DNA sequence: CAAAAATACGATTATTTTTATCCGAATTTA
DNA sequence: TAAATTCGGATAAAAATAATCGTATTTTTG
């Protein structure tokens, strides 16, 4: 179905929100409320982005999140990787093999990989900042 | 996860198989056996492709499927549509709205649609014949 | 005509993936 | 020490995908 997962969608919105409010640390709760996103889910997601180095977190009261890098320097590809969402269109894309029957003698693997690269390029060339209307 | 569904994957393989054996009518059973694909599932899928005009079927003994058009004239986009697989990366892509929170004032819709178009173009410009190694 | 080999169609089940929640722990501020 | 918050693991709920079942219909052929 070639769909961006909610994780990715929420993360884009959250990153843009944090970018707009970069003067302070933003709590997961505040972001969730302002964007009307499920708090627990968003919370998990932000923690992941932190661990992957896209966000910096501060624990405790007055804690929250800030950007670790500008959203103009975060590509969609990077975001997907951080969220463990591979942009693979077939399972064998990262070497796992048997994405389709007859793996060994697969007739379509190489051309499928070509498709894959075209798609990767799109995500590689789009940053979170690019995904805003009001530039 | 941006993954081609099994339906699409199997369909590509099946169409290529039928193209290679275009002199005769190919039964679902034969195709499934030769490609090691689940018969019932493939069968359903071929029926769908027939109804959508990509295949021609013949009922009864000696029945089976033939191509209704050359695989060089079937794009991946067309195939996905035929299989009711939209290549939408977000729900609002075909007007359904509220794909993400704050739909009305969605900051990212238009740029997301741009991404969408880039992806559509890839699928629009790739035919089933293009997805073969041995041209 | 009857049997066999197919497709056609609808319903259902099973599996996997995605999305969401819960809970207790650790950390920091005041 | 209490409150606000991130952290981390486990689990649950929902949705989408993949697969199967059963029966009907069509066509060929002996
Ligand atoms: S084995 Fe991956 S495309 Fe065939
Ligand atoms: S409403 Fe679809 S991208 Fe925001």
Average pLDDT over residues A74-93: 86
3-state secondary structure A101-129: CCCCCCCCHHHHHHHHHHHHHHHHCCECH
Q: Domain segments of chain A: what residues?
A: 6-86
Burial grade of A111 (CB within 10 A; 0-12, 13-18, 19 or more): middle
The angle formed by the CA atoms of residues A30, A34 and A38, to the nearest 5 degrees, is 80
- What percent of chain B has a predicted confidence (pLDDT) above 90? 70
Please check whether strand D approaches the CB of A102 to within 7 Å. Answer: no
Q: A22 CA to C17 C1', in Å? A: 34
Q: Give the HSE-up count for residue A103: Cα atoms under 13 Å, Cβ half-sphere.
A: 10
Of B76, B111, B130, nearest to A130 by CB-CB distance is B111
Nucleotides of D under 7 A from a protein CB: 2-10, 16-22, 25-29
Q: In this structure, are residues B65 and B18 in contact, taking their beta carbons and an 8 Å threshold?
A: yes
Is the pLDDT confidence value at A92 over 90?
Answer: no
CATH number of B6-86: 1.10.10.10
User: Which residue, A103, A86, A102, is CA-closest to A94?
Assistant: A86
Is the pLDDT confidence value at B1 over 70?
Answer: no
pLDDT category at B105 given cuts 50, 70, 90 is low
* H/E stretch holding B13: helix B6-20
Average pLDDT over residues B24-42: 96
Distances (CA, A) of A13 to A64, A65, B89, B107, B133: 16, 14, 15, 8, 40
> Residue B125 has what pLDDT?
96
Angle at which helices B28-35 and B39-51 pack, to 10 degrees?
A: 130
Residue B64 φ then ψ, to 5°: 145, -160
Is the pLDDT confidence value at A122 over 50?
Answer: yes
In the block, tokens 């389709």 appear at A100
Is the pLDDT confidence value at A102 over 80?
Answer: no
Burial grade of B2 (CB within 10 A; 0-12, 13-18, 19 or more): buried
């Amino acid at each position: 179905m070639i769909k961006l997962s909610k994780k990715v969608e929420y993360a884009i919105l959250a990153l843009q929100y944090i970018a707009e409010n970069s003067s302070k640390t933003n709590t997961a709760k505040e972001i969730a409320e302002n964007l009307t996103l499920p708090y627990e889910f968003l919370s998990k997601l932000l923690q992941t982005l932190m661990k992957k180095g896209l966000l910096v977190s501060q624990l405790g009261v007055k804690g929250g999140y800030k950007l670790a890098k500008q959203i103009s320097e975060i590509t969609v590809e990077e975001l997907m990787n951080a969220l463990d969402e591979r942009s693979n269109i077939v399972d064998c894309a990262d070497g796992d093999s048997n994405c389709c029957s007859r793996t060994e003698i697969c007739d379509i693997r190489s051309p499928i990989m070509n498709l894959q690269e075209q798609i990767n390029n799109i995500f590689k060339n789009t940053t979170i900042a690019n995904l805003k209307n009001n530039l």
